[in-house]
Structure 1
Amino acid sequence: MSRKRPTIADLRAMKGKRQLTMLRVLTMDEAEAAERAGVDIVSVPPELVLNPQFRDAAPSLFTMPGDNFYEIGTADDFVRWAFRLYKASADAVYCSAGFATVKRLADDNIPVIGHVGLIPSRATWTGGFKAVGKTADSAMQIFEAVKQYEAAGAVGAEIEVVPVEVANAISERTSLIMLSMGAGTGCDAQYLFADDILGQNRGHMPRHSKVYRNFAAEYDRLQAERIAAFSEYVADVNSLAYPEDKHVVHMDPDQLGLFMEKIDAG
């Protein structure tokens, strides 16, 4: 039996009742795998949701395209960008721009997901890529940002690398759907990157990540096999082992004779 794609109202009704699952997926194959695995929410590159085949692959995934605010531009640019994605079947958009831009989108009835805690595009303001909210004052700044998102009309917020005690307290005190990336189970959804889950990330592995497969090793094996196959082909051509008779087409002898007469006569 096929699943129903959740609405904003559905996600709000589930708040506090069960943990939702969320993945950042980058390809159609990953989106289809998330659909078949029963994932609830996906964050995707904008171009993926704009692909006409996306909803065939992922009909029931609550889908949130996003990009860094500096890739999009002004509030007007954000509105045009968001409407294009919403028309293409996005369920919400991620926006890490200012609260005024969030409000502009929300005023036009675009569901918006904000971001608090460690925000990679603003990490310089909070001391780099490290936990945020470990002091009472910095924790209050996160809570105040959540309240500002509420006031701006956002429907949810990613909360990244924040102490679990802080994330729990904030989640209990907000109507926003809180998406935890390394912030514990007191939030409404657990959010990981498919690259990390599949072991495709060869760089730094965040504390909150969990590796379930080793695709990097499989890619290395496939690359070694690719090189070996190409090398065998080169060797076959050099030794005249390729092409064999089965790889070519022959002409009828009578027709060949006529052709040779014609070509020699010319």
Structure 2
Amino acid sequence: MTRTRPTVADLRAWKGKRQLTMLRVFSIDEAAAAEEAGIDVVSVPPELILHPDYRKAAPSLFSMSGLDHLSAGSREDYLRLSCKLLSAGADAMYCSAGLDTVRFLASEYIPVVGHVGLVPSRATWTGGFKAVGKTADQALALYSECQAYEVAGAFAVEIEVVPEEVATEISRRMDRLLLWSMGSGAGCDVQYLFAMDILGEHRGKMPRHSKVYRNFAAEYDRLQRERVAAFNEFRQDVERGSFPEDRYIQRMDRAELERFLSGLGA
């Protein structure tokens, strides 16, 4: 059955009715797999949205793209980037800049997704890469921040590494703002993980909130060993004269060969 790509209005209508799934994907293959697996929402880098085959691979995925404010520049730069990516097939724009920028983009009818909790590009303000909202004061500040995002015109925020109780209570109190949970529990509207975490591509410490479903790192190691072995076998074949064999080369008709050699004066 063919799925229809949801709109912002659809996502809002589903609030409180069912949880959606979201992945961060980095390639056409990952996007195609998310499409086939029935994932609802994806976050993709700008270069992937701009790939000519992206929407062929992911016709029904609600796709957020964008850059953090350290890379995007001014609010006018954000607007130019938004127009470019939305025209190419994006459905929404991620924005970690201030509320003035969010308000500016929303006033131009750009669907904006903000970010609260552990925001990597703003982590110095919340004490580094650790959970945010573990005290009552922090939790109330998060609630106020979500309210401000809603008033500014954002339709969703990614809420990252926040205690489940806090994220759940905030989500319940948001009429129109969707909360996309990364490590913030099941009380939000969307559950969000990175594809590379699900696939076990990391070789270092995994984020606590990520669940590993496959071990691609081990498979990549196996493939690398096979790659080295194949290259080594090729080198050995060449050195002992067993490559190329007749089946891998072209032969000239004998009469044409004799004419060729005659032309060379041989």
Shorter-normalised TM-score: what interval? over 0.9
Q: Which residue does 1:238 correspond to in 2? A: 239
Q: What is the CA distance between 1:185 and its match in structure 2?
A: 0.9
Corresponding residue of 2:180: 179
Q: Which residue of 1 aligns with 2:204?
A: 203
In structure 2, what residue type is equivalent to 1:250?
A: R
Aligned equivalents of 1:209, 1:28: Cα separation in 2: 22
Q: Cα distance, 1:203 vs. partner? A: 2.4
- State whether residues 5 and 60 of structure 2, in contact with CA within 8 Å, keep that contact through their aligned partners in structure 1: yes
Distance in structure 2 (CA, Å) of the matches to 1:131 and 1:55: 35
Q: Give the drift of 1:145.
A: 0.9
Question: 2:167 maps to what in 1?
Answer: 167
Runs in 1 of length 4+ with deviation above 2 angstroms?
A: none
Q: Cα deviations across residues 130-165 of structure 1 (Å, max 9, x unaligned)?
A: 100000111111111111101110000000000111
Structure 1 segment 26-105 matched on structure 2, within 5 A: 26-105=26-105
Separation of aligned partners in 2, 1:203 and 1:104? 40
Does 2:138 correspond to 1:138?
Answer: yes
CA distance in 1 between counterparts of 2:180 and 2:249 reads: 59
Partner of 1:7: 7
Shift of 1:78: 0.2
Cα deviation for residue 6 of structure 1 reads: 0.7
Which 10-residue stretch deviates more, 254-263 or 116-125?
Answer: 254-263
Amino acid at match of 2:91: D
Tell me by how many angstroms 1:52 deviates. 2.0
Q: What per-residue deviation string (whole Å, max 9, x for no partner) do you get for residues 15-61 of structure 1?
A: 01111100001100000110110100000001111112111111111
* Length, aligned pairs only: 265
Q: Quick one: distance in 1 between partners of 2:252 and 2:88?
A: 54
* Offset, 1:257: 1.8
- Whether the 8 Å contact between 2:105 and 2:112 is mirrored in structure 1 is yes
**2:66–2:82 contact (8 Å) kept in structure 1:** no
In 2, Cα distance between the equivalents of 1:254 and 1:13?
A: 78
Q: Unpaired runs of 5+ in structure 2?
A: none
Structure 1 SS opposite 2:116: strand
SS for the counterpart of 2:231 is helix
Query: Residue 221 of structure 2 aligns with which residue?
Result: 220
The yes-or-no answer on 1:247 pairing with 2:251 is: no
Structure 1: which 5+ runs fail to align? none
Q: Which residue of 2 aligns with 1:128?
A: 128
Task: Specify the SS of the correspondent of 1:113.
Answer: strand
Q: Secondary structure at the match of 2:265?
A: helix
1:16 aligned to 2:12?
A: no
Task: Please tell me the residue identity of whatever aligns with 1:233.
Answer: F
Q: CA shift at 1:170, angstroms?
A: 0.6
Which AA in structure 2 matches 1:178?
Answer: L
1:258, CA displacement in angstroms? 2.0
Q: What's the CA shift for 1:129?
A: 0.8
Instruction: Please state whether the residue corresponding to 1:66 is helix, strand or coil.
Output: strand
Q: Which residue of 2 aligns with 1:194?
A: 195
Write the distance in 2 (CA, Å) between the matches of 1:258 and 1:87: 61
- Between 1:73-82 and 1:85-94, the stretch displaced more is 85-94
TM-superposed deviation, 1:247: 1.4
Alignment-derived partner of residue 153 in structure 2: 153
Q: CA deviation at 1:84?
A: 0.6
Spell out, residue by residue over 1:50-88, the C-alpha distance to the aligned partner (whole angstroms, 9 max, x if none). 112111111111000122211110000000000111111
Aligned amino acid, residue 113 of structure 1: V
CA apart distance, 1:204: 2.2
User: Matched residue of 1:179: which SS?
Assistant: strand
Identity rate of aligned residues, in percent?
A: 62
